[in-house]
């Protein structure tokens, strides 16, 4: 059948439910795929959308999404220190610009209304501002203590939600979503462990619901019946002291039947504590589609459509949830961060071309948490659409030789070939993937190997010639008549000289992951990197039956990876009995002992009765080819660990850049 947006014939039989229309209130969506509200850090100094923000959301609308919900806008100056600001009329022009960019592609767009409450705010001068919540309460994640809201400010907040919604209507947005998820302000009113008021807003569930119901009424009063109004809520906050899931079901039943809402959007998690925060953006070792049963429970209680999200990264999973009647609309946010064309590809039956999200969290939520614009380690064009989404055709096609088949080399080859160059990629080993092949072998990390599959497909689509077991040297460069060489030869484990190493059984992380080392039953992991390697090795060896001490040269294991990934993993290690020693550097060993030193006090840390010391001490660049080509008259570009050992994110980004300039 012809697609009503493009006029081209498409086959929707693979996903008939996912690509059926859905009417929600006064709007009809072209399909059941939406992008949930998420912070992008693509705002200007006045906390308004900038050109990058517009391009980011337009890319996903052009890619086929049925609905985009923008990130939570603060409705009041006290709620959200880095949020899009909808508390003043100045927001209307910017929101209108985003809305028009999205709507012209046949995609609906909603604004989101939020207030952080107890979670806390930082004011522009860097000091900690006063946070307001139902009662004076504590956030165990931000270690913030709130001020109890006076009645006058509660009334002001209720009015502010409505006024912000009215501005979104003036901007021409299709709908607004009230955020009561993740233990933000409306959820704090619902929670008796955070709300112990004795007035009309505390005590019974009916009283604790009062703020939320007043907010819904205020929003509806300001937008009327021609704008969609929805509610996002955590069915289970999965946090000590979080809202009772049975209470939340009752809240959903009541507000879902009162007529003020057009839909309910079900999610999980809490931003008030570390345990619940893991579920704000769940990492790859959490089951896909795991919140669908929660949405189904809500759907049985309400007459309005129910949305759901949470680790749904493939159209097959989304189709299954809709077909089973568990939810009506499927949030696939990171799926569209990794591949903004995901919806179009699924609709057209091009599922093999979909670049599936691997839930690493590194450049999406990881960037946001350090105040950097959103991106994706697999697709660095994300968040950089203005610079890299359109690939300019090469003015004169050249012969490009890529040395190295890890993520950097694969991305460089794919981009250079897409631009029209004749590209040959040579990999010294018998497999593509580099260190990603190691990452995927660790417990709970199998999806990381998806980056190899995805980049391999990109190269194949653009006609890259791949030669395995072909190391590149100066003679090969000459025989290939290459015009340009992209060096992406990676790195190897750092093997420093250690006192007593001749007596000890020392192996490196790569040897263990590859199954090349017999480690015995008592293992110390010397983890200088403080990343996924030490965590993964500790889990792998413990599950293999070893007694493991993870000694990290930093504050905590996983210090350098995104906190939701780290916190979940550290919790898993605690469950299986891994001993963790922070602030420890390896300086020596003998046949039975590991000698470490506290990195700040200098005091010795000695671990006895050790069979094996496994080292994860960083990497050294492999740069012999760079030296060999020093006098070569062609163009040479470097990407990834051969330039400087870092992470997969930098490797793929530098591969993209090399493919652009070659």
pLDDT attached to residue 79: 86
For domain 22-387, give the fold. Answer: TIM Barrel (3.20.20)
Residue range(s) of every CATH 3.40.50.720 domain in the chain: 391-493+621-661
Percent above pLDDT 70 for the chain: 98
pLDDT band at 6 (very low <50, low <70, confident <90, very high): very low
pLDDT attached to residue 12: 54
What tokens were used for 377? 């380690």
Q: What is the CA radius of gyration of the chain?
A: 26
Interval 161-188: pLDDT, tens: 999 999 999 999 999 999 999 999 999 9
pLDDT attached to residue 8: 45
CA dihedral 508→513→516→522, nearest 10 degrees, is 70
Interval 349-377: pLDDT, tens: 999 999 999 999 999 999 999 999 999 99
As its CATH architecture, domain 506-617 has 3-Layer(bba) Sandwich (3.50)
In the predicted model, is pLDDT for residue 1 greater than 80? no
Intra-chain end-to-end CA distance of the chain, in Å: 41
In the predicted model, is pLDDT for residue 538 greater than 90? yes
Residue 337 Rama label (left phi>0; alpha psi -120 to 50; beta): alpha
The helix or strand, by DSSP H or E, that contains position 596, with its residue range, turns out to be strand 594-598
* CATH class of the domain whose range is 391-493+621-661: alpha beta
Residue range(s) of every CATH 3.20.20.70 domain in the chain: 22-387
Interval 195-226: pLDDT, tens: 999 999 999 999 999 999 999 999 999 999 99
Q: CB-based burial of residue 99 (10 Å sphere; 0-12 exposed, 13-18 middle, 19+ buried)?
A: buried
Mean pLDDT over the full length of the chain = 96
Interval 427-474: pLDDT, tens: 999 999 999 999 999 999 999 999 999 999 999 999 999 999 999 999
- Positive or negative, the CA dihedral 595, 599, 617, 576 is positive
In the predicted model, is pLDDT for residue 391 greater than 80? yes
pLDDT band at 480 (very low <50, low <70, confident <90, very high): very high
What tokens were used for 637? 């570009």
pLDDT attached to residue 80: 74
What mean pLDDT do residues 514-531 have? 97
Which stretches does DSSP call E strand in 45-192? Answer: 67-74, 84-85, 108-114, 132-133, 138-139, 144-145, 147-148, 175-180
pLDDT band at 81 (very low <50, low <70, confident <90, very high): confident
How, if at all, do strands 612-616 and 132-133 pair? unpaired
Interval 577-630: pLDDT, tens: 999 999 999 999 999 999 999 999 999 999 999 999 999 999 999 999 999 999
Closest CA to 67 of 329, 344, 383: 329
Residue range(s) of every CATH 3.50.50.60 domain in the chain: 506-617
Interval 277-289: pLDDT, tens: 999 999 999 999 9
């Amino acid at each position: 059948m012809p697609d009503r947006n493009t006029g081209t014939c498409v086959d929707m039989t693979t996903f008939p439910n996912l690509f059926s229309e859905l009417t929600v209130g006064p709007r009809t969506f072209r399909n059941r795929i939406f992008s949930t509200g998420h912070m992008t850090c693509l705002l200007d100094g006045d906390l308004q959308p900038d050109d990058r923000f517009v391009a980011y959301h337009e890319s996903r609308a052009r890619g086929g999404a049925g609905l985009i919900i923008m990130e939570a806008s603060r409705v009041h100056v006290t709620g959200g220190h880095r949020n899009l600001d909808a508390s003043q009329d100045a927001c209307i022009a910017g929101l209108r610009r985003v809305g028009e960019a999205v709507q012209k592609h046949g995609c609906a767009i909603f604004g989101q209304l939020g207030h952080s409450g107890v979670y806390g705010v930082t004011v522009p001068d860097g000091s900690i501002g006063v946070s307001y919540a139902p009662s004076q309460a504590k956030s165990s994640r931000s270690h913030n203590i709130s001020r109890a809201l006076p009645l006058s400010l509660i009334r002001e907040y209720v009015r502010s939600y409505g006024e912000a919604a009215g501005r979104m209507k003036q901007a021409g947005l299709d709908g607004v979503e009230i955020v009561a998820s993740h233990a933000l302000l409306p959820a704090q009113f619902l929670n008796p462990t955070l709300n112990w008021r004795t007035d009309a807003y505390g005590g019974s569930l009916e009283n604790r619901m009062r703020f939320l119901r007043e907010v819904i009424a205020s929003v509806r009063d300001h937008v009327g019946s021609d704008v969609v109004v929805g509610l996002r809520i955590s069915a289970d906050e999965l946090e000590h002291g979080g809202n009772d899931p049975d209470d939340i079901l009752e809240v959903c039943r009541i507000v879902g039947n009162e007529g003020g809402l057009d839909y309910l959007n079900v999610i999980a998690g809490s931003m008030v504590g570390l345990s619940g925060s893991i579920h704000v953006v769940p990492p790859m070792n959490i089951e896909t589609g795991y919140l669908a049963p929660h949405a189904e429970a809500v759907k049985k209680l309400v007459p309005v459509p129910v949305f759901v999200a949470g680790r749904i990264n493939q159209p097959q999973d989304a189709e299954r949830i809709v077909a089973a009647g568990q939810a009506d609309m499927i949030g696939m946010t990171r799926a569209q961060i990794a591949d903004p064309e995901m919806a179009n590809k699924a609709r057209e039956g091009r599922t093999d071309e979909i670049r599936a999200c691997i839930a690493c969290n590194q450049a999406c939520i990881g960037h946001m948490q350090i105040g950097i614009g959103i991106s994706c380690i697999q697709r660095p064009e994300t968040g950089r659409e203005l610079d890299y989404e359109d690939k300019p055709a090469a003015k004169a096609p050249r012969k490009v030789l890529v040395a190295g088949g890890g993520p950097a080399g694969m991305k460089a080859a794919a981009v250079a070939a897409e631009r029209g160059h004749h590209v040959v990629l040579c990999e010294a080993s018998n497999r593509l993937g580099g260190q990603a092949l190691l990452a995927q072998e660790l417990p709970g990390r199998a999806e990381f190997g998806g980056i190899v599959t995805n980049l391999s497909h990109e190269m194949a689509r653009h006609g890259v010639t791949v030669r395995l077991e072909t190391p590149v040297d100066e003679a090969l460069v000459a025989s290939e008549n290459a015009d340009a060489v992209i060096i992406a030869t990676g790195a190897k484990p750092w093997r420093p000289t250690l006192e007593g190493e001749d007596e000890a059984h020392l192996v490196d992380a790569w040897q263990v992951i590859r199954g090349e080392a017999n480690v015995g039953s008592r293992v110390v992991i010397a983890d200088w990197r403080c990343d996924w390697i030490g965590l993964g090795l500790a889990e792998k060896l413990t599950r293999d039956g070893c007694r493991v001490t993870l000694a990290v040269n930093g504050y905590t294991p996983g210090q350098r990876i995104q906190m939701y990934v780290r916190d979940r993993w550290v919790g898993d290690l605690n469950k299986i009995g891994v001993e963790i020693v922070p602030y420890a550097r390896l300086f020596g060993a003998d046949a039975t002992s590991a000698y470490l030193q506290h990195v700040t006090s200098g005091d010795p840390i000695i671990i006895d009765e050790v069979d094996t010391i496994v080292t994860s001490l960083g990497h050294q660049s492999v740069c012999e080819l760079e030296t060999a080509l020093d006098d070569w008259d062609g163009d040479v570009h470097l990407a990834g660990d051969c330039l400087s050992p870092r992470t997969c994110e930098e490797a793929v980004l530098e591969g993209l850049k090399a493919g652009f300039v070659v």
